[in-house]
A and B are shown apart, each in its own frame.
Chain A
Amino acid sequence: MAAVTGARLLAVTALLTACGERDRIVVGAKNFTESDLLAELVAQQIERRAGLRVERRLHLGGTFVCHAAIVAGQIDVYVEYTGTAFTAVLKHPPVADRDSVYRAVAAEYAARYGLVWGRPLGFNNTFAIVVRRADAERYGLRRVADLARVAPRWRAGFGYEFLERADGFAGLARVYGLRFAAPPTAMDLGLTYRALADGKVDVIAGNSTDGTIEALDLVALEDDRRYFPPYEAAPVVRRAVVERHPAVRAALDELAGRISDAEMRRLNALADVTHRDIAEIAREWLAAHLP
């Protein structure tokens, strides 16, 4: 008698769990604040509009970690940048036109990985070559090309991904003729701003939408030779998920074009400078912009 009840219990649990599996969305994020913020926005948006349970896996790792994870089906969605997908993942040489980059990645991701690109969120987060304001004024640095003058006496510091990527340091140094005194100091990406502010390094590669640039009295130099491709942020989703839950697509499309460069910077500052809770920032933003 007990054995039969046990078996029924097991069957019911298995069924429920299986249902839960299919109805659960996993949202991933890269290992920096903006990615966590966007992931939280996406997660809450899916929860409220598509009514699905969402599991977050924030601060997972770099671009390549997230890409490997979504291809393997360990995450279902994450926000990627078109330029990054184009040069680092698909390994194409950089192209300047925003729309061609978007079309290319959308097509190739669908064909090669079964991944669907949502519509861009509205801002371009390109790499920002950042220096201290005092140095910018003392050496008259406005553009990245100006760095070539001071590079031989300077130390550069970068995160590990920027050092490895095709659209990263190697290409930058080549295009702008930058020769530093020593190979760049490598460190965890999150520490580069601090290293710059403390004077341990003289130039870093941050994100143009980082909240800390102004807060730490730093200046981003202009990419006058257009070395970096456009980096429009847009969600990337597994096709299987989109097919099973069309509501997810609709939820994500609602975010299209809603976040400007300035808005993203503001949100990043709330998290990085004011140190507010990411889930709260996301909730407030959604309440204000997509009630």
Chain B
Amino acid sequence: MSAPPPPVLEVRDLRYGDRVAGVSFKVGVGETLVLLGRSGSGKTTTLKLINRLLEPTGGEVLVAGARAAGLDPTRLRRRIGYVIQEVGLFPHFTVAENVGLVPRLERWAPDRIAARVRELLALVGLDPDVYGHRHPHELSGGQRQRVGVARALAADPPVLLLDEPFGALDPITRVELQREFQALEGRLGKARVFVTHDVREGLLLGTRLGLLDAGRLVFLGTPDEFRRSALPEVRKFMEAA
């Protein structure tokens, strides 16, 4: 077994009032940590503590070795891709403009932005010539989330946070996107934290799983370990699967 890759993202004893009560984990390059838990278990909160949409009341977040608390939040967030369930595409921007947002904020040259947009749209399975100039309301739910992922990847951030990204999609589209995401994982080389309450999705997509219960990480391990675990909270989840 090879040595674990150096952690791109490290979270130490992270706290947020009593919603997140001391969570610690590390995520390396190419790894996907799935945060699993019931509603209200603190998984979305934990995610938002990482990119400082919420400010931790205790503990630390380190991104590529640097303390997140010491960075300007805006600079931090531009180095972290963020995908949410509602997608949140800007309705008045075209697909291309949506994807190219962070590069534009970072003042990349226009041709570099255009090339990157094409590359990413192709990556998520949308023909840039067909979809590039369309507006979000012209797309299906699945297509919109593909754009959402492309947008999050645009500035090539080392860390990707995904908050139940496929939760609002119909089951067929959801499976489609899960498979494509899984295929992408190897190619992307990023550290991903993926929040979901769907245990099957978690087992499929995670290199490791973390189970949150009332703000505490009660399990952290591989999918196999999860399946074999005797912890009552884990068993409850497995039964529901």
Assess A/B contact in the complex (Cβ within 8 A).
no
Question: A interface vs B, CB < 8 Å?
Answer: none
Question: B interface vs A, CB < 8 Å?
Answer: none
